[in-house]
Structure 1
Amino acid sequence: MSNIKINSISCLFTLFFFMSTALLWAQSESINEERFVSIGGIEQWITIKGDDKSNPIILFLHGGPGSTLSQFDNNMYAGWEKDFVLVNWDQRGAGKTFGRSAPSDINEEYYVENPLKVEQMTKDGVELTRYILDYLDSQKLILVGTSWGSILGMKMILDSPEIFDAYLGHAQVVNFSRNIDYAYNKVHELAIESEDLISLDVLDSLGEPPYDDARSYGQLLRIVKKYERDRSIPAPDAWWEIAAQYDNDKDRKARNDGDDYSFINFVGHAKLGIESMVSAIDFDKDGLVIEVPVYLIQGEQDILTSKELTKPYFDKIQAPKKEYFLVPDAAHGHNQSIVDKQLAVINQILSQK
């Protein structure tokens, strides 16, 4: 064989090798971004992380409102980046988004003049979803909402079902007023059974909800969390470790201030004239016909958003597909069983596409 032929074969092999390598690299290009994007007229913080940016996208809606997830080392969903693109969002009024737009000193005037509204946050969520889909050149994504995030998630899929593959509601709120009434009566019953005189004294002094003061809701929720902890397996402490880049005074202040601001808007505070942003939420009335597959993941020991409300609601839902999962050792928040069930359901969704 002549040198010309050998060189030609060598060149072709080299070209093929580089083309194959480039194609492989393009198919598995990773993404790891943390930044502000303009959503709803303000700058809002998002993180986008995945080993392959062409993988299915999951958008997480944190609870609270105000209880952001972006600041944690990703121990809760460790390893998920291999198969999915994970998007976390500090919603309006929370975390770095709140810190970006709020003044350094938060006063009563700021609370009064800057109310949070479910309608605006729903628009934010839909706009963000469209941005993510365009940015990652995808058609749809899977939406995962927890607690308050389940209100926002339900509103988003009702508003724009065409941009979502499916909705996973964890600790799904059905009707805030009925949820909180049930929680009060349940912990009052448990306090009597366990002769918990300290909790009984607080509950009796509060009386049954609704309350005019956000602090009263806070007192009730502390007792609810106490009884949920006693009846469920907690999440590992490592899940709540703050990532180094968020472990600073500025971000810590934004998270704390945003949490207070969001909670007061969530439950309302009569003295400041702030109405509860969720007082009118009733998915039994306007959340029964859903155009995307719906999966509800329910902790059996959840008192705040109990199975006594979520299961009857689920039974009435009309959707292309729906499933309800009761997790025995879980309460309102995340633990390993909840995260495992989320993963199983997401893999089930993708296997059926």
Structure 2
Amino acid sequence: MEKHKIITSFKRDLAGKVGKIMLISFSLITLCIIALAIILLVQSPGKVNPLRDKNGNVMKGSISEKINVKINGVNMGMIIKSENISNPVLLFVHGGPGMPEYFLTEIYPTGLEKYFTVVWWDQRGAGLSYSSDISAKTMTTKQFVSDTISVTNYLRERFGQDKLYLMGHSWGSYIALQAAAKSPELYHAYIGVGQISNQMESEKIAYEYMIKYYNAKGDKKTVKKLEATPIETMDGLSDAYEKIRDDVMHRAGIGTTHKMESVVSGIFLPVMQNSEYILKEKINIWRGKAFSNSTGLKNEFYSTDLSKTITKLDIPVYFFSGIYDYTVNYSMSEAYLKKLSAPVKGFYLFKESAHSPIFEEPKKVVHIMREDVIK
């Protein structure tokens, strides 16, 4: 009987101690969450940084703004920067689907705002343009092309310019090229960065490259992961492959940039640390990406071969590709440009870049834009 009382008392004391430890742990976790939220709020004032001269003064005639404009029934956000508001307008159509890229300019300044009025437009359902009210039924290639043209017309009127320069990156090049083909009279020229042609075939080339790359490194674990999700005979990417795709690509140096080894340190953290977004806007970047990927956009994307559907552009065309780019295979982009009929064509291969030459080799990009593209 005495022994039973001792055991019961011990259990009661132990339960009490465990409860206290759990309460302390819960309190610490709660404090950490509150502290993190405070840090994020402090780092998220949301005001766009003005362009300043060497003396730290705001440049006269410059523009630095974050605006929201109703386009085709949806409030769309964009960040506009230029050292001179009279510069020619450059509309940047970002990648994804659903992944704005302005946040990267804090780490990788492009220098384009010196010579252009650069418009970093967030597409329907993405980032500054995200809203839970947007219907998934409107998330179609046709709608995105229409949105691009409508944004173009808004900018033409806003800045009093008959024509713009149109730059599409990755997924954005899939949309922007079609907009340029549909309404060439609106644009001086089209610039494709990591230009899409047949993305499913590009994915298969990247897959084969990574199998060889990780085999050569002796990384059997990664090879095993890749071989467990084969894509050679697929018409689209499986969920299992998409879960590992970004990680294996970036570790192989063929992702967003050649030197970006992780999407966490290279993309997630820069978004959350960027001071020009408020916290809600940062969260909406991830909500928008998830929403965009949950629609039928990718199915259209992977089932389209632009080299067959768009064979002619009536304006000058320039493709920028990184030699390490297997996110969108650079050799396929070059082959597509050779087939494409256009009054002027230029293919530029960047020797230190993967998927984002405008961020990886900005000085070379600016030089080409000044010397070859602006007429």
| TMscore range, shorter length | 0.7 to 0.9
Shift of 1:120: 0.3
Shift of 1:342: 2.2
Cα distance in 1, alignment partners of residues 202 and 297 from structure 2: 12
Q: Structure 1: where are the runs of 5+ without partners?
A: 1-27, 104-109, 269-275
> Which of structures 1 and 2 has the bigger CA Rg?
2
1:296 aligns with 2:319: yes
The match for 1:244 is 275
Secondary structure of 2:242's counterpart equals helix
The match for 1:321 is 344
Query: 1:228/1:265 Cα in 2 relative to 1: closer, same or farther (>3 Å)?
Result: farther
Contact residue 141 and residue 297 of structure 2 kept, 8 A: no
1:191 aligns with 2:214: yes
Shift of 1:31: 2.5
The match for 2:245 is 220
The match for 1:62 is 94
Shift of 1:184: 1.3
Q: 1:11-54 deviations in whole A, cap 9, x for unaligned?
A: xxxxxxxxxxxxxxxxx733332111011111100122223211
Q: Structure 2: where are the runs of 5+ without partners?
A: 1-59
| Percent of matched pairs sharing the same residue | 25
Shift of 1:81: 2.8
Contact residue 234 and residue 335 of structure 1 kept, 8 A: no
Shift of 1:196: 1.4
Q: 1:45-94 deviations in whole A, cap 9, x for unaligned?
A: 01222232111111111111222134456553354333321111110121
Cα distance in 1, alignment partners of residues 297 and 248 from structure 2: 17
Cα distance in 2, alignment partners of residues 266 and 199 from structure 1: 29
Once structures 1 and 2 are overlaid, which stretch shifts more, 69-78 or 319-328? 69-78
1:263 aligns with 2:263: no
Cα distance in 2, alignment partners of residues 341 and 288 from structure 1: 28
Aligned length, in residue pairs:
308
Secondary structure of 2:165's counterpart equals strand
TM-score (norm 2): 0.74
Cα distance in 2, alignment partners of residues 279 and 229 from structure 1: 19
Shift of 1:118: 0.9
1:232 aligns with 2:263: no
Contact residue 62 and residue 149 of structure 1 kept, 8 A: yes
Secondary structure of 2:96's counterpart equals coil
User: Aligned-pair RMSD on alpha carbons?
Assistant: 2.8
Shift of 1:303: 1.1
The match for 2:82 is 50
Secondary structure of 1:207's counterpart equals coil
Cα distance in 1, alignment partners of residues 114 and 188 from structure 2: 20
Q: 1:193 is matched by which residue type in structure 2?
A: A
Secondary structure of 1:246's counterpart equals coil
Q: 1:34 is matched by which residue type in structure 2?
A: K
Q: 1:205-224 deviations in whole A, cap 9, x for unaligned?
A: 11124456435323223212
Cα distance in 2, alignment partners of residues 179 and 212 from structure 1: 12
1:88 aligns with 2:126: no
Shift of 1:312: 1.4
